Structure 1
């Protein structure tokens, strides 16, 4: 510990003065600097390699708690304080997000469904509660719009579609994907905002055909659909804002890889206690 203090200290005292104060010899200090790393230092170096790898796999998103959980599941038993120290000492930081902007066209004459979800984002089994929304992504050839549907039990994206127009057809493509894969039981709640895409006749007809119960957020209540907002925030922080996108096709390929290669199979969700 004393030699470590010497290595980290950058004050105005001379080395000889510090040696006398800390009761160590100048020869011992030189040996500590030229000798092999200690057992603890070697373990920290191994742990640092694992942290860097998980930092890369998580797209720079995991902070101390999730990083510690990931390492423990890999059989590397370490505490949060040690993980935080190594990340801090080596400049490994969580990438921060920018402000998220919503786009919802609620100025229409379609019927509005009641809020059956009522901000209860937990489900007891798969395909009991779904939530959907649409966001936008800037590319050099114009806006790309992403529609998603998320199963609130697992937080997995079960339906998604990208297009150049934020119309009903985009939302229907995401819905059709979600319906085709898990075959939801009758009575599954389908929650969205009040956008015209979701209130339109064909979309509501599709919900009735598959016995899905429509649910819609209150006007101006962004927290009513915060589960999907959280996904969009993660997507933009971990993928979208890191690149200047040339085409909508580039975005589509990248989103496919993100959802199927990281978000669905690997990402830990704080709402599910890091699972």
Structure 2
């Protein structure tokens, strides 16, 4: 908010901008004074600033993977007495978050008792290599989301002759896997 006021005050002045934002001009001047004279801030605000530096240090020393609980525990080990909720509040203000463990996603509901019938008279038998290929794809959970993997399998040998990975499940993604095999 104050950055916006700093930008607009040269063009419009402090009072008109404050009146549009429904804040008192004294609030702007108070915040500006605290920015220029951090030693005049309250003891609570000064401690928050110091804690932010300590939290950032612990977070960086641990490869930016620690969450609130582990940062809080590390600060306690170092003799810095602070409440867990304070660490949570400051980490949220700073935009810091720990790495989340991936949760197991159930992607298939197995029904072993019900086998699909052969409705199209599929003939999955080959007499020599590269006579018949079949294609399949699946999706894999990663830390960044799902990726899709297409496989081209030689029916005779039963091994994968080509594959392709994509972020989206489109027709071109399967065709790219075929292009890999054709080359």
Taking structure 1 as the reference length, the TM-score comes to 0.27
Of structures 1 and 2, the larger Rg is shown by 2
Taking structure 2 as the reference length, the TM-score comes to 0.39
